[in-house]
Amino acid sequence: IYRVLTRGCRSLLNFPDFSLTYESPKKHNMEDFWDWLSNQTDVQGVQARTKRRPIVKTGKFKKMFGWGDFHSNIKTVKLNLLITGKIVDHGNGTFSVYFRHNSTGMGNVSVSLVPPSKVVEFEITQQSTLETKDTKSFNCRIEYEKTDRNKKTALCGFDTSKVCYQEQTQSHVSWLCSKPFKVICIYIAFYSVDYKLVQKVCPDYNYHSDTPYSSTG
């Protein structure tokens, strides 16, 4: 489970622009993932998925999931939140989950691994702490985790004649999952002063099938 808490100036937030986009899986070297995440920028609109690829084999193994790139961006007057991720099936019985979080402002964000049956709902207590048993049942472990914070002053978005103190937070985390494991989904929960978001993203279970996958939950 990965939890990041950022704090900044308190004020009412305007209704945000939210974008969510997916791209087809591509081959990458392991050392290129964090570079890829670092170079992600804002994406306008939702890009259409490219044509389904044929079965990909690595030796006697084949890829199990049709994962691709993940991008979530939330913008308000006092908040700029960007979450980018990549889920890679290595084709040898293991897969990795990479996430990078970059924010300026105040909010509470959580990224976690959950089963497809996880219900998308706001937590009653409005906390982003999620159950750890799901991650353990997937046979996943955190490979890497790092968080950097710094403060800066800037003109306030709601009043450019004033100066606001903002805290910038940048963090990334990666999981490595191995057999035996079940199909997982990515669950993101975000809470700020007057804005809440819950999103569940699941892989294409029928990646190697001509029948498209219909998401549920």
Tell me the CATH number at 172.
2.60.40
20 inside domain: no
In sequence order, what are the beta bridge partners of 199?
188
Domain range for 186: 64-118+139-206
Tell whether 163 is covered by a domain: yes
What number is the average pLDDT over the span 186-215?
67
Q: Which residue is it, tokens 């159950």?
A: 131
With cut-offs at 50, 70 and 90, classify the pLDDT of residue 11: very low
127 assigned to some structural domain: no
**29-47: per-residue pLDDT in tens?**
545 555 554 554 333 333 4
How far, in Å, CA of 171 to CA of 151, rounded?
Answer: 15
Q: How many CB atoms lie within 10 A of CB 8?
A: 20
- If one counts the domains in the chain, the total is 1
| pLDDT score, position 66 | 54
Give residue 90's pLDDT. Answer: 80
Better-scored residue on pLDDT, 61 or 165: 165
pTM of the model: 0.55
Instruction: Tell me the pLDDT tens digit for each residue of 137-178.
Output: 678 888 888 888 888 887 776 778 888 777 788 888 888 888
